[in-house]
Chains A and B, each alone.
Chain A
Amino acid sequence: MNTATTGLQSARIGTGLLDSTRPVSFQFNGRSYTGLQGDTLASALLANEQRLVGRSFKYHRPRGIFSAGSEEPNALVELGSGAYREPNTRATVTELFEGLEARSQNHRGPLSFDVMAINDHLSSFLSAGFYYKTFMWPKAFWEKVYEPVIRAAAGLGSLSMQEDPDTYDKGFLHADLLIVGAGPSGLAAALTAGRAGLRVIIADDDFLAGGRLNAEQMEVDGMPSAQWAARSHAELCSMPNVRCLLRTSVYGAFDHGIYGALQRCTDHLPDKSSEKPRQILWRIYARQTLLGAGATERSIAFANNDRPGIMLAGAVRTYMNRFGVAPGKEVVVFTNNDDGWRTAADLTRAGVSLAAIIDTRTTSAPMKLPGVRIVMGGQVITTRGRLGLRSVTLHDGQTLPCDCLAVAGGWSPNVHLTCHQRGRPVWRQGIAAFVPGAELPQGMRVIGAANGSLGLSSALTEGHRTAVRIIEASGIGKNTSSSPVAEQESTRITAFWHVSASRGRAWIDLQNDVTTKDIALSFKEGFRSVEHLKRYTTLGMATDQGKTSNVLGLAVMPQLSGKTIQDTGTTIFRPPYTPIPIAALAGRSRGKHFRPVRHTPSHQWAQDNGGDFVETGMWLRAQWYTREGETHWRQSVDREVLQTRRAVGICDVTTLGKIDIQGKDAAAFLDRVYANTFSTLAVGKVRYGLMLREDGFVMDDGTTARLGDTHFLMTTTTANAVSVFRHLEFCRQCLWPEMDVHLISATEQWAQYAIAGPQARALLEGVVDAPFDISNETFPFMACAELTVFNGTPARLFRISFSGELAYELAVPTRYGHSLMEALMQHGKQFDVVAYGTEALGVMRIEKGHAAGNELNGQTTAANLGLGRMVSTKKDCIGAVLSKRPAMNTENAIQLVGFMPEDSAQSLRAGAHFLSEDAEETTANDQGWMTSVAWSPVLNSSIGLGFITNGSNRQGERIKAYDPVRGESYPVRIVSPHFVDPDGERLRG
């Protein structure tokens, strides 16, 4: 190991596809190493003979590098530091860059001496599902003792607990053909389709196009396979109609040809200060899709098959051929198929010492390997070497010293994306693996190894041929290509899963420490369906989602049940294919940009005048305007209320929903959507409207003005503007399509201001242009008009009042809103005008007893609100019939009334429930609740609105307001909800 620190890369035996001129230095567990440009973290660690890289989940067994791809179960590290820390990162797919920092995870004390490894010695007490059988006594101990210990021991890496410092982006791509995987079949298909002119997207997880082509010593079209891959990729990149996405994993197949893909843009760059997004989450809309995702090799179950140095045979080839790394000094190959022999061949070719090749088959050796010990019909029984493999023991008892065991258990096609919808893979005995089933996602075809065509030649021709079929079907272009040519290597296999002669634990799922014993136990205890097996043993539930272990587990089951593998069935593959950072799925929708902000036209004015803002849906509204010397919001609100009631106040009510309704049948339409009648409303008049849902509960309310015979302007509450519009469109298009009615939102078109108070008219008379007359006689309460203000600006004026004062609402085209607010305030000075916010608005509407959001909560009826008589009995309307249901019209239904504290010093709180003072505090005795409260500067008292059973007949009664979550309980008296000007003289004055 001392060589490692010096950066000699002592296991480097060639340069493979690396750039030997560009050394890259990095750190692992605080020690410095050197690799080469083009290395992964895993290959660089192997080059430096760092074989111990992590610990397993449950038993904390020492683990090394097992694979060369995203299926890696063992070599998980914490990457980066500070806020950039990234737990559970696979060393096998982490592109090496200058200054990379990685740490092993899930151990206490140094990696080589993990105190948690005690679990390994206690393993017989920690068998599958043991925790369901204990930790139950004493009862209180679970949260206090057992669970904290378990939680601390479980988990893998840890988060930095800081905000993710990177930015992320999303995007939408459209293609005639999406090709998943740039291996032999994918490249062949892309070349064919691209040359024919189709819009093609080809995506691959790797930072190099080629897949296995880069890992093998084979030839395509007479050149080395890796060279062919590079050349093909270059040609594809040069085509304007082709988009090559490397470092991009297509993680999910969704309905109707929509795919999710994650492109890693900056992860491999040393400079983390980049302004550009770290990753882009693409949503790809593809007419056709070719899945060329390749295959994943699997292991064989034998005792202690999890030690550092035990590696998949295909991965051994990858490290030698692509990364120029010798995986060991003395290698043994253990195989059940011909592919394992190619590893042996490459090892000897590379001059790595090959101790023996053990083949479970009793056939004759598929190839000659001069000077290599060949054991046909042999088995590896167990292995030795705590922190790294030292030897393997064969079935005949002899022990072979070695530091690397290459295991070839056969290849499993990567069928995952075919299963993301309904597809169920089917077993193909010939290759002893599951292949895609018949039910593929819409528009998807599978090619190459993913389709079970394991040979190179068949992968290339299958990719080409399928692309030709798609071109012909698309009618877009013509095929001009022929299939690339390559030799067809032998892939014969005789299924062999489990060395039954092994005594010790034989690992199936390396990361979750699931062994053949656990599977036997779960079977014994009755957990026999594959789903029960998975859930009881946690097989395949680790970060690799069982890529290397599922099939092995499914194959061991039948040996117990006597069933066949296909009858045993398989668990379902779910997205994502590889784990996706949560931040990437969120994209830009973070912090202040989580959702858009809506501003009213006079937002800037409010900001300049002490406005304090509150979120109302997407809107920002001024809730009050703080003046010099005001230290508490109540001071501001009281001032605004008093000044409005004394003189005149102005409030921005632009956020109210406005719907322009026109058509010959507009009036009749309103009669059907409102509980009360509008056809009788005269032009130039406004009416309060109550809208019900079809179930008879109140949906929304607002005022609607008749601007002409066939022209109405409806206002909705701010909260319901969108849902009411949708509802009206439903009525118009689906229920009464014969009506001549047209809807368009005018919410954004008009800046609207409430002008309320005794001086309101006086103020407006100086604003409205001649000859318009707004005297009480010509422009009484509930009148409206289209006119002009401030010398020619078109405007609409409505005489309506939410505050209970003499009040108007004045609307101008939005672009004049800011200017109007300034002008009104300036012109209003002489009338002692004040700007008031939503809080003062709320105080005044409560003083007046008007219902708002807290009362119109979707659970209340017109009767509850004291508006029962508004529901016309003369006509049908939405909600009329079901509003008559008995339980909604009982004797002691809740009704909206007012409340005042018995002790004037007591301030009321919304959310308090009402009970009789002597009643026991139970659900049965609950009589209602307080909906809205305010401090009334007019009455110098806290006042409230609320619902209480049979309220309108109980005025004057004293009851208890029960508010335990605020530690309060106090007497209140039921009063009229109209605290101010009950007879409404002011608003008519």
Chain B
Amino acid sequence: MPVSTMRYSALKVLKEGLTGNRGWRPAWREPEPRTHYDVIIVGGGGHGLATAHYLASVHGITNVAVLEKGWIGSGNIGRNTTIVRSNYLLPGNEPFYELSMKLWENLEQDLNYNAMMSQRGIVNLFHSDAQRDAYARRGNAMRLAGADSVLLDEAGIRELCPFLDYENARFPIKGGLLQPRAGTARHDAVAWGYARGADSRGVDIIQNCEVTGFTLENGVCTGVDSTRGRISAGKVAVCVAGSSGRVMAMAGMRLPIESHVLQAFVSEGLKPVIPGVITFGAGHFYISQSDKGGLVFGGDIDGYNSYAQRGNLPTVEDVCEGGMAIMPMIGRARLLRMWGGIMDMSMDGSPFIDKTSVPGLYFNGGWCYGGFKATPASGWCYAHLIATGQPHETAAAYRLDRFMSGAVIDERGAGAQPNLH
């Protein structure tokens, strides 16, 4: 049953300010788990909370619990570089990410929560004719899917980013592919916004509740065992980026996934420098600037299996070398903090939103390092699958059996080696 939640607005902030901010209420409840739910979502990260929100708001399924082993948003949505884009190449991917982009564009109004979605654009630099042609192919594929894309030559890049190194670069900048509608969003706020949205429609968000097993009755999944007891459910939907292997193993499943560590970095706060998002593929480097002023940047995954949320020096130095190679003006900015997130890297670099071989058990994962931008569409399509039993048209390719059939979605053409995607 819906719960009344206070509506946020400038007026509200003003009123509370005048009355000593005494009237604010919790953004979500802290309910005790019930014995049964129509749907249990395992994992209170961005995707899980978004799924709950859309189950309730789009499909009217409100008897839903989100079980989170720690605090909500403690996974990759709490530790990413906040980039939102839909500049994919393959038909299995691009329509899905464009759906996500459209959901991003209305997120704040939908959630009544300011996730600071900021469409300041993303540009992927290229340095050779072959790279230009590959980006042209991609830009055209984006247009076919209704997305926006602009192919810029060197002059266009100079205008957009005058601070890059055009005179002395080892790999001279020849141009770039721009997606103006791309940008960044305040990552934590996305989780909080979805949590608040779901909670306000009656979804129970249960933190510090770890799932320890699935209850299977003659081959059908009918609920979970958790650190807060057994909870039965009509459907159980797993959505645990970074723990997919461990959780699905409890259902006896091996996945086409390896877990790797991706590091990210933020500098001390600075007055505005970087307009949007810039990616320098040849140097394994991408960067944006947060509203607080920190330069947020990263590069490749460390490349070895890891469940430790930290990486090592060679990658740190490799990323900074890329940064200095392309924009030597950031040299005297200081790296303030580095951290690692666990990426469920799939065998072709693309995710899964699918039923499993166990009836009643659903799986969403394998997002590699692209999960944040996918959050709204992932929730939307997962909710659609759970509610209707049918895959959403834009996510139909995200099947678990695609390696058996050969219908892989390999954007990089790197083959079945996760650390190359």
Q: List the interface of chain A (C-beta within 8 A of B).
A: 57, 84-88, 122, 124-125, 127, 130-137, 139, 142-143, 147, 150-152, 154-164, 166, 170, 252, 254-255, 258, 260, 281, 283, 420-422, 517, 521, 524-527, 529, 531-532, 535-536, 538, 542-543, 545, 574-576, 579-583, 585-587, 589-595, 597, 614-615, 693-697, 699, 853-854, 857-860, 882, 885-889, 909-913, 921-926, 929-932, 962-966
Contacts and interface: CB of A to CB of B under 8 A. Distances in A.
B331 A134 contact: no
B170 A592 contact: yes
A133 B114 contact: yes
Contacts of A580: 334-335
B406 A885 contact: yes
A281 B414 CA distance: 34
A923 B17 contact: no
A615 to B, nearest CB: 6
Given A913-B137, A966-B136, A88 B334 contact: yes
Given A133-B13, A586-B323, 6 more contacts: A136-B112, A154-B291, A576-B338, A582-B331, A699-B415, A912-B136
B253 interface: no
Contacts of B138: 911
Contact of B21 (A124, A912, A932): A124
B75 to A, nearest CB: 11
Nearest to B94: A923
Contacts of B150: 965
A911 B335 contact: no
Contact of B140 (A88, A517, A695, A964): A964
A620 to B, nearest CB: 11
Interface string B278-304: 000001000001011100000000000
B170 A594 contact: yes
B321 interface: yes
A924 B78 CA distance: 36
B405 interface: yes
B109 A693 contact: no
Contact of B108 (A57, A136, A888): A136
B16 to A, nearest CB: 8
B14 interface: yes
A697 B324 CA distance: 36
B293 A156 contact: yes
B334 A579 contact: yes
Contact of A579 (B133, B268, B313, B404): B268
A136 B105 CA distance: 12
B321 A586 contact: yes
Q: Find the residue from A87, A155, A926, A965 having the highest chain B CB count within 10 A.
A: A965
B312 A258 contact: yes
A420 B70 CA distance: 20
Ranked nearest first, the 3 interchain pairs of A and B with the lowest CB-CB distance are A858-B413, A911-B136, A164-B331
Contacts of B135: 911
B273 interface: yes
Interface centre among A542, A582, A583 (most CB of B within 10 A): A582
A132 B113 contact: yes
Contacts of B116: 131, 142, 147
Given A134-B10, A854-B130, A524 B24 contact: yes
A163 B114 contact: no
B91 interface: yes
A590 B328 contact: yes
B168 interface: yes
Interface stretch (B117-125, B213-221, B352-360): B117-125
Given A147-B116, A147-B118, A524-B24, A926 B139 contact: no
A912 B70 CA distance: 48
Given A911-B134, A923-B95, A591 B21 contact: no
Interface residues of B, number: 117
Contact of B308 (A137, A170, A422, A521): A422
Given A594-B325, A693-B415, A965-B140, A85 B272 contact: no
Contact of B114 (A131, A281, A576): A131
B336 A159 contact: no
Contact of B330 (A142, A579, A582, A886): A582
Given A159-B270, A911-B134, A926-B91, A254 B140 contact: no
A133 B12 contact: yes
Contacts of B308: 421-422
Nearest to B290: A154
A585 B316 contact: yes
A929 B138 CA distance: 10
A887 B330 contact: no
B143 interface: yes
Contacts of B292: 154-155, 538
A923 B8 contact: no
A260 B313 contact: yes
Contacts of A84: 332
A88 B20 CA distance: 33
Contacts of A252: 313, 338
A581 B331 contact: yes
Contact of B291 (A147, A283, A527, A694): A147
Contacts of B268: 87-88, 156-157, 543, 579
Contact of B271 (A157, A853, A882): A157
B27 A526 contact: yes
B321 A594 contact: yes
Contacts of A575: 337-338
Contacts of B406: 696, 882, 885-889
Nearest to B337: A574
Nearest to A889: B406
Contact of B283 (A170, A594, A597, A930): A594
A180 to B, nearest CB: 16
Given A580-B334, A854-B130, A125 B13 contact: yes
B151 interface: yes
B405 A885 contact: yes
Contacts of A532: 71, 73
Given A155-B293, A582-B335, A589-B325, A923 B141 contact: yes
Nearest to A592: B170
Contacts of B186: 132
Contact of A162 (B71, B91, B117, B329): B329
Interface in B142-194: 143-146, 149-151, 163, 165, 168-172, 177, 186, 188-189, 192-193
A252 B94 CA distance: 40
Contact of A154 (B139, B188, B269, B310): B269
B317 A134 contact: no
A524 B128 CA distance: 55
Given A87-B270, A963-B136, A965-B139, A254 B151 contact: no
A170 B321 CA distance: 12
B133 A525 contact: no
A446 to B, nearest CB: 19
Given A594-B283, A696-B406, A524 B140 contact: no
15 contacts: A87-B268, A133-B9, A134-B13, A164-B331, A252-B338, A525-B24, A526-B26, A574-B337, A574-B338, A579-B335, A582-B330, A594-B171, A858-B413, A913-B137, A963-B136
